[in-house]
Amino acid sequence: MPTSLALCAVAVGAVVATPTEAQGAPAQGLVGAQQVGAFDQGAGLATAAVATKVSDSAQLTRQAIGQSRIQYLAAVKQAGAKSVAVSLRARRAVGYAKSKLGGQYRWGGTGPRSFDCSGLTMMAWRQGGVRLPHRARLQYRRGHYVPKSRLRPGDLVFFYRAKSHVGIYIGGGKMIHAANRREDIKVSTISRGYYARKFVGARRLA
């Protein structure tokens, strides 16, 4: 009997202890929940901070892109205006040369009815606001070099090693020039034939 009672006491103690442990479990669960909640709150704040930084970075990027676009458009507008100005000046020079077609060649002539080669180009570009000396070789020192493959109307084209002859390019592989006493002021091709062989360079004035 004493042994049986002892065993019963042990059993009863185990049963009684179980509710006590069970009562402690919700307290531990509450602490765990509070820790998880605190973690979630901290993670939320960190996420919000990162999102704010990303948003600020994106806004700065958009602002930078916007400023770059504005600068780009301004540069394009400025370049376009400059190109238009150059085109107008060149057209005036070419237009003047065309108006003198059929005119007389005269050594040292500067117009208005007779010209030599450098006199014609000098007066043509004067209409475009550019002052040139009255010698072909000296005109070659003005402006900047242009390869033959990139000629455009208004460019000066030069011939012979001494650069002693000059004409004004009008497009399509042709120029207007005061040729000589026999041919006067005329259009000649520079893409083939005699003047193609004698071509030595070209200059762009504006």
134 is catalytic: no
In eight-state DSSP terms, residue 190 is S
Count of domains for the chain? 1
Active site residue: 8, 134, 144, 165, which one? Answer: 165
165 is catalytic: yes
29 in a domain, yes or no?
no
177 is catalytic: yes
51 in a domain, yes or no?
no
Length of the chain measured in residues: 206
Which CATH number belongs to the domain containing residue 129 in this structure?
3.90.1720.10
117 in a domain, yes or no?
yes
Give this prediction's pTM.
0.60
20 in a domain, yes or no?
no
Residues of the domain holding 130: 92-204
157 in a domain, yes or no?
yes
49 in a domain, yes or no?
no
Active site residue: 8, 134, 144, 177, which one? Answer: 177
Question: Hey, what amino acid is at 140?
Answer: Y
How far CA 205 is from CA of 34, 61, 93, 139, in Å, comes to 82, 42, 11, 10
pLDDT tens, 66-99?
565 566 455 445 544 444 444 899 999 999 999 9
pLDDT tens, 154-203?
999 999 999 999 999 999 999 999 999 999 999 999 999 999 999 999 99
What's the whole-number mean pLDDT along residues 42-62? 54
